[in-house]
Amino acid sequence: MVSTAERLAKKQKEISVSEFFEKNRHILGFDSLSKSLIMGVKEATDNSLDACEEAGVLPEVYVGIDRTGKEDFRVTILDNGPGIVKKNLPNVFGRLLYGSRFHSLRQSRGQQGIGISATVMYGQMTTGRPAIGASKIEGSDTGWSMEISVDTKRNRPNTRNEQAVIWESFIAEQGLTMMWTEYDHGTFISYTTKGRYITGKQSIYEYLRQTAIVNPHARITFVDIENKVTIFERATTEMPPVAKEIKPHPTGIELGVLMSMAKTTKARQLSAFLKQDFSRISDRVANEICETGGLNINKKPQSLSLEEYKSLLDAIDTVKIMAPQTDCLSPIGEALIRKGLRHVLNEMRPDYYAPPVSRSPKVTSGNPFIVEAGIVYGGDLPKDQQVQILRFGNRVPLLYQQGACVITKAIEGINWRQYGLEQRGGRGIPYGPAIIMVHVASTKVPFTSEAKEAIANLEVMRQEVDLALRGCARNLKRHLNKQEKRKKTRVKFEIVQEILPQIAIKSAAILERDVPDISGTITKIMNVIWIDASAERTKKGLRVTVRVFNYTNKKQTFKLHTLFPREALDESIISDHIADVEDDGRITWEIKKLPKTNSVEISFDLKELGASDFDENDIYVSGVNPALVMGADQLPGDWGIKAMDITEVEEEDDDDELDYDENGGTIDDEE
């Protein structure tokens, strides 16, 4: 008789990783028809942007969707990236867990080598058709095109109809616009899939729009199912800094991982192993670690006992080691966040873009990370709804699971009332005409699931998001305060100027006397230089008017300053008072000997591009006692962008204090 164990033994066998993900596709985000459609676009776009950046090419990404049945679609993505060599093309698109970035410690969008091949697999599962993959690499004469499908039983690609193609003709045959035939290299993927096409907050359009915000160096073309073409133009031609690959940081490493590294290292001595295989370990630190652990620095790393490995680990946790270098990260930066937001959100004509905040790097579980945030306020943004939250991880928009994300948790934990937004009960997502944007960049963004929809709620990360947001929020509050103050001053002015003369007339009539000249009295009451900037939308962009009233007792001479992108200005900036327009956009006017009770008016146009840069609070004065001036602050000493974007410096942790990582280990942030 066969025992149960023997019967079971016959059934025990290996399961291929493709079979696993075929059955558990929800892990990868393919858990509803609308989400499945967007997942493929996301995976392909991420790969395109990663590849372009790796090759130092300004990314051009084409995304096209055709409806081929009620719930059937053809999705096509093309880029101008470095391409994929012919041999690897089938594997990249037709084999799960195959990729180039899994083992490298640095910021990138994709890492696992699953996303795009899972997309191809899902397409073939739901429509029965293989994908078409094609690529041409730089310097090669021809490109290659082939049909690719996943053999799920073996997790290997199957190919058909491999053929050499002339890239220009191949692209032209796909019916794409001529622009695309200009590129000499790139990657093309086209697949059919079951899906549901939706519009709104979780649409492909929104995904690409948000991608454009955090990738201002990319141009993205989207052709939707009605053949409507949307081009998200690039806002800058500046490539993001290349994220460098780093070695693992020793802090927080696990015993088994340390042992496994020691067993396979090429180093012959313990000290060399520590220095060569980890980042941030100098000669001095390596010696200190060995000494602390009571270990001989010349010992073969392979030959330690379990107890000695434990001592080594304890020593690593004890000795002070510099935080990981952060050139493995590629943050967007404050200037480009502002540019990206303006560029994409301008259609909603917001009043104010709060100067963004890019925090200094921190570390969790050995992975450095940077949090960046921006807030957009007012204008046509809806006033009676919750603020819109734009979440990003390594420059990729996160559209799902908002409630589970550390970004949302941090937002909900802030008392937004003190920053001028409505919030019921002082907790939760605030209400008001605002968009809050947060980007987390890391060598390993701690997503809650493989579908990369929400970032885990780690204490240290929530704190950073909190601090970044409070920085922005203070800028917003300052703006709102100034606006309020300006409004009150204006009202006071109007009252004084309208009421006083009327009182004079009335009093004179009652007393049957002549109406007295009270301009001196008004001046006496006011005793200010009143600067009133306002703007009006025109067809071309914005008409800015600055009025200067001298309500003091004497002539006044002083300078006015502001800052606009040079390219937003036209000849209208030239006026009697203009003194200087510099290439970086710094503008100076000189007001000479303005007599008392007199005023001057300066007007100029801003082109659409720069219109969103206008902030009525960004007018500064110099050469006059600032106590006399209402409506403008004194020019800060450090003239320049910083003068305009005065981000209040957060009280940072004292240098002597340590940051605690999630495992309770301490990391000294020595950067």
Report the alpha-carbon distance of residue 341 to residue 216 in Å, rounded.
Answer: 9
The per-residue DSSP string of 549-588 comes to: EEESSS-EEEEEEEE--GGGB-GGG--TTEEEE-TTSEEE
Q: Is 67 in the site for a second copy (CB under 8 A)?
A: no
* Per-residue DSSP letter, 134: E
Under DSSP, is residue 658 helix (H, G, I), strand (E, B) or coil? coil
Burial class (CB in 10 A: 0-12, 13-18, 19+), 254: exposed
Q: How far is the CB of 168 from a second copy (least distance, A)?
A: 18
In the complex with a second copy, which residue's Cβ is closer, 444 or 547? 444
Contact by Cβ (8 Å): 319, 345: no
Give the nearer residue to a second copy in terms of CB position, either 5 or 178: 5
Query: Among 60-68, 173-181, 256-264, 350-358, which window interacts with a second copy (CB under 8 A)?
Result: 256-264
Q: How far is the CB of 264 from a second copy (least distance, A)?
A: 9
* CB of 122 or CB of 614, closer to a second copy: 122
For 294, other C-beta atoms within 10 Å of its C-beta total 10
Q: How far is CA 447 from CA 39, 398, 513, in A?
A: 16, 10, 81
Determine, following the binding rule CB under 8 A, whether residue 92 of this chain makes contact with a second copy: yes
The secondary structure of 397-427 as a DSSP string is: E--S-GGGSHHHHHHHHS-GGGGT-B-GGG-
Closer by beta carbon to a second copy, 112 or else 159: 112
Q: Which H, E and C letters describe 353-394, residue by residue?
A: EEEEEECCCEEECCEEEEEEEEEEECCCCCCCCECEEEEEEC
Binding mask 148-167 for a second copy (x = CB under 8 A): ----x---------------
Name the 3-class secondary structure at 48: helix
State the maximum Cα–Cα separation within the chain, in Å, rounded to a whole number: 129
- As given in the structure block, the two tokens for residue 366 are 């050995």
Stretch that binds a second copy, among 110-118, 359-367, 590-598, 651-659 (CB under 8 A): 110-118
Q: Count CB neighbours of 482 within 10 A.
A: 17
Q: How far apart are CA 637 and CA 99, in angstroms?
A: 51
Nearer to a second copy, 85 or 658 (CB): 85
Least distance between a second copy and beta carbon 248 (Å)? 12
Minimum CB separation from a second copy for residue 273, in Å? 16
* Nearest-10 crossing angle of helices 459-511, 406-413: 40
- Torsion angles phi and psi, residue 333, rounded to 5: 90, 150
Is 100 one of the binding residues for a second copy (CB under 8 A)?
A: yes
Least CB distance to a second copy at residue 506 (A) = 59
CA distances for 175 relative to 144, 148, 253, 620, angstroms: 18, 21, 52, 54
* Binding flag, residue 242, a second copy (CB under 8 A): no
Which of 229, 257, 574, 579 binds a second copy (CB under 8 A)? It is 257
In the numeric block, which tokens belong to residue 161? 């109809």
CB of 185 to a second copy, least distance (A): 8
Interface region with a second copy, contact rule CB under 8 A, candidates 109-117, 342-350, 432-440, 511-519: 109-117
Nearest distance in Å: CB 22, a second copy: 8
Residues 124-153 that bind a second copy (CB under 8 A): 124-129, 135, 137-140, 152
From candidates 55, 460, 500, 641, binder to a second copy by CB under 8 A: 55
Sheet strand arrangement including 620-622 = 578-581, 586-594, 556-563, 620-622, 633-634
- Residues numbered 279 to 318 that lie near a second copy (CB under 8 A) are 306, 309-310
Site for a second copy in 531-590 (CB under 8 A): none
Which of 357/363 has CB closer to a second copy?
Answer: 363
Whether the Cβ atoms of residue 48 and residue 79 lie closer than 8 Å to each other: yes
Q: Is 34 in the site for a second copy (CB under 8 A)?
A: no
CB of 55 to a second copy, least distance (A): 4
Give me the least distance between CB of 117 and a second copy, in Å please. 11
Q: Which is nearer to a second copy, 54 or 659 (CB)?
A: 54
Residue 9 interacts with a second copy (CB under 8 A): yes or no: yes
Nearest to 155 by CA among 121, 116, 110: 121
For residues 89 and 82, give the distance between their C-alpha atoms in angstroms, rounded to a whole number: 13
What does residue 553 show for φ and ψ, rounded to 5 degrees? -90, 0
201 phi/psi in degrees, rounded to 5:
-65, -20
Give least dist CB 112 to a second copy, A: 6
Q: Please, which residue, 82 or 397, has the CB nearer to a second copy? A: 82
The least distance separating a second copy from the CB of residue 326, rounded to whole angstroms, comes to: 21
Residues between 260 and 279 with contacts to a second copy, criterion CB under 8 A: 260
Task: State which of residues 162, 173, 233, 254 lies at the interface with a second copy (CB under 8 A).
Answer: 254
258 C-beta neighbours (distance < 10 Å), count? 22
Q: Which is nearer to a second copy, 379 or 413 (CB)?
A: 413
Site for a second copy in 443-482 (CB under 8 A): 446, 448-450, 456
The reply to whether 94 sits near a second copy by the rule CB under 8 A is no
User: Minimum distance between the CB of residue 91 and a second copy, rounded to whole angstroms?
Assistant: 7
112 binds a second copy (CB under 8 A): yes
Residue 446 or 585 with smaller CB distance to a second copy: 446
Interface with a second copy (CB under 8 A), residue from 13, 228, 266, 539: 13
- Contact pick of 41, 146, 259, 315 for a second copy (by CB under 8 A): 259
- The CA-based angle 136-138-139, given to 5 degrees, is 110
Residue from the set 255, 503, 505, 515 that interacts with a second copy by CB under 8 A? 255
Stretch in the footprint of a second copy (CB under 8 A) among 250-258, 383-391, 425-433, 502-510: 250-258
Count CA atoms closer than 13 A to 158's CA, side-chain side.
11
Q: Is 19 or 650 the residue whose CB approaches a second copy more closely?
A: 19
Residue 485 tokens read as: 């103050």
Whether 192 and 74 have beta carbons less than 8 Å apart is answered as: yes
Cα distance between residue 546 and residue 3, in whole Å: 93
Which CB sits closer to a second copy, 138 or 291?
138
**How many residues of this chain bind a second copy (CB under 8 A)?**
73
Window contacting a second copy (CB under 8 A); options: 47-55, 167-175, 359-367, 386-394: 47-55
Q: Which residue from 35, 42, 106, 194 is in contact with a second copy, where contact means CB under 8 A?
A: 194
Interface with a second copy includes 95 (CB under 8 A)?
Answer: yes
d(C-alpha 207, C-alpha 398), whole Å: 8
